[in-house]
């Protein structure tokens, strides 16, 4: 039976570690890390995510600023606001919560963020530095997965890692990170996606499977070999009559049957999801300590 990778626990541990460090920074009269977030409009899910980020900052002793802008904000206005944050020495790092209203070009906004403050790791310079194995801010989900592999002492060197999904925020960066000459890393990586033929031929050969395609219970037991390490990045909310809330969260992995064959597996919820906030806080601490750019 698989070891369950407890992302909630690891995220709490990381947040406790950061809280201790912030306290010692405060005692020495150093600068308290300060994260800002820009939220444009009032998308329900975005409100929840940003709220959780601000709450986490308070809990660990960071300063935080939430900048709410109306749905009608123009691209120009948003870029002006970003310029202010870029030039504000009090703000160590910030995020522009995505998605943005349709009239705003997301890529343009991502590129307006000063890479020194890009704690989301979305700027092309951050992505390029990641690919070159230079100091940078890693995007939240990939950074969280790397932390899980590290803290569970999962051997990656020389292993065959198969990634399903090539999104800019998960699949593509994970394929880069797992192939890097680093620990965790040093995998032989296969990046699969919607055009991949005979996917099962690849998944059956995987020592480590990172599943990030966004299809509930897609990966089944017949697709994996015994002893596989499974990282499930999927999160799909489906109606259910078995829960009080009337819905249930599903990962991309048919959990019970795959867990029976796996050596390690992340559950949904409670696996990769809770790690994203820890990643953002780690990046903000790095920004405030000028660990990435000196
Ligand atoms: N929307 C969903 N996830 C994220 C994230 O990690 N960062 C930002 N800025 N927006 C998001």
CATH code at position 196: 3.40.50.720
Residues 146 and 200 in one domain: yes
| Segment 177-185 long-range contacts (CB within 8 Å, at least 24 positions apart) | 177/130, 177/138, 177/142, 177/146, 178/208, 178/210, 180/133, 181/133, 182/133, 183/150, 183/156, 183/157, 184/146, 184/149, 184/150, 184/154, 184/156, 185/156, 185/157
Question: Are residue 266 and residue 165 in the same domain, yes or no?
Answer: yes
Q: Is residue 125 part of a domain?
A: no
- Asked if the structure places residue 13 within a domain, the reply is no
* One domain for residues 85 and 157: no
User: What distance in angstroms lies between residue 164's CA and the mean position of ligand 1's atoms?
Assistant: 20
Give 56-87 pLDDT, tens digit per residue.
999 999 999 999 999 999 999 999 999 999 99
Instruction: Identify the helix (H) or strand (E) that includes residue 97.
Output: none
288 assigned to some structural domain = no
Mean pLDDT over 169-185 rounds to 98
Residues 6+ apart with CB under 8 A from 241: none
Q: What is the pLDDT of residues 122-153, one digit of tens each?
A: 999 999 999 999 999 999 999 999 999 999 99
Residue 46 CA, ligand 1 centroid: distance in Å: 8
73 and 151 in a common domain: no
> What's the pLDDT at 85?
98
The domain tally of the chain equals 2
Please tell me if the CB atom of residue 96 comes closer than 6 angstroms to any atom of ligand 1: yes
Quick one: 110 and 168 in the same domain?
Answer: no
Residues 158 and 248 in one domain: yes
Q: Which domain holds residue 248?
A: 140-273
- 3-state SS class at 238: strand
Domain identity same for 111 and 144: no
> Is residue 151 within 8 Å of 145, Cβ to Cβ?
no
For the segment 189-225, what is each residue's pLDDT rounded down to a tens digit? 999 999 999 999 999 999 999 999 999 999 999 999 9
**pLDDT tens digits along 35-59:** 999 999 999 999 999 999 999 999 9
pLDDT on residue 294: 85
**Residue 195, in any domain of the structure:** yes
Are both 40 and 160 inside the same structural domain?
A: no
> 59, 82, 115 — which closes off a domain?
115
Residue 49 Cα to ligand 1 middle (Å): 8
- Which run of H or E residues covers position 232? strand 229-232
User: Is residue 97 annotated as a catalytic residue, yes or no?
Assistant: yes
Active-site residue, selected from the candidate residues 92, 97, 147, 232: 97
pTM for this structure? 0.97
Pair (207, 259) in one structural domain: yes
Residue ID of nearest Cα to ligand 1 atom 2: 98
What is the atom index within ligand 1 of the atom nearest the CA of 95?
9
- Residue 16 falls within a domain, yes or no? no
Beta carbon of 176 within 6 Å of any ligand 1 atom: no
Catalytic residue among 6, 15, 53, 232: 53
Does a structural domain hold residue 290? no
Residue 5 forms part of a structural domain: no
Range 287-291 average pLDDT: 97
Cα distances (angstroms) measured from residue 117 to each of 92, 136, 139, 291: 6, 10, 13, 12
Is the separation of the CB atoms in 269 and 227 below 8 Å? Answer: no
Pair (263, 146) in one structural domain: yes
pLDDT, residue 1, reads: 83
pLDDT score at 2: 97
**Peptide bond preceding 131 in cis form (omega within 30 of 0):** no
Please report whether residue 193 resides in a domain: yes
Atom of ligand 1 nearest to the CA of 120: 7
> Does the annotation count 118 as an active-site position?
no
DSSP per-residue codes, 168-217:
TTTHHHHHHHHHSSSSS---EEEEE-TT-SSHHHHHTT-SEEEE-S--TT
Taking 90 as the threshold, does the pLDDT of residue 286 lie above it? yes
CA distance 62 to 12: 15
My answer on whether 204 and 248 are in the same domain is yes
Q: How far is the CA of 99 from the centre of ligand 1 (A)?
A: 8
109 and 153 assigned to the same domain? no
**pLDDT tens, position by position, 236-248:** 999 999 999 999 9
Q: Ligand 1: does its nearest atom lie under 6 Å from the Cβ of 140?
A: yes
**pLDDT tens sequence across 256-271:** 999 999 999 999 999 9
Indicate if 120 belongs to the active site.
yes
């Amino acid at each position: 039976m698989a070891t369950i990778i407890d992302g909630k626990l690891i995220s709490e541990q990381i947040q406790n570690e950061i809280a201790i460090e912030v306290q010692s920074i405060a005692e020495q009269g150093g600068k308290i890390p300060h994260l800002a977030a820009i939220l444009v409009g009032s998308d329900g899910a975005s409100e929840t995510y940003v709220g959780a980020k601000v709450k986490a900052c308070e809990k660990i002793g960071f300063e935080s600023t939430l900048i709410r802008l109306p749905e009608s904000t123009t691209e120009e206005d948003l870029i002006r606001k970003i310029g202010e944050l870029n030039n504000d020495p009090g703000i160590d790092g910030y995020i522009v919560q995505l998605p943005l209203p349709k009239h705003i070009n997301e890529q343009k906004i991502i590129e307006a963020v000063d890479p020194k403050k890009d704690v989301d790791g979305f700027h092309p310079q951050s992505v390029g530095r990641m690919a070159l194995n230079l100091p940078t801010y890693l995007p939240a989900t990939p950074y969280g997965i790397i932390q899980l592999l590290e803290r569970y002492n999962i051997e990656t060197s020389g292993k065959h890692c198969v990634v399903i999904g090539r999104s800019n925020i998960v699949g593509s960066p994970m394929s880069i990170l797992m192939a890097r000459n680093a620990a965790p890393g040093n995998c032989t990586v296969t990046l699969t996606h919607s055009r991949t033929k005979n996917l099962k031929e690849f998944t059956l050969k995987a020592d480590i499977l990172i599943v990030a395609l966004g299809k509930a219970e897609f990966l089944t037991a017949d697709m994996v070999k015994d002893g596989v390490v499974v990282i499930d990045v999927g999160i799909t909310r489906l109606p259910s009559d078995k829960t009080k809330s009337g819905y249930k969260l599903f990962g991309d992995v048919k959990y019970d049957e795959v867990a029976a064959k796996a050596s390690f597996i992340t559950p949904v919820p409670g696996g990769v999801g809770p790690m994203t906030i820890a990643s953002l806080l780690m990046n903000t601490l790095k920004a405030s300590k000028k660990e990435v750019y000196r």
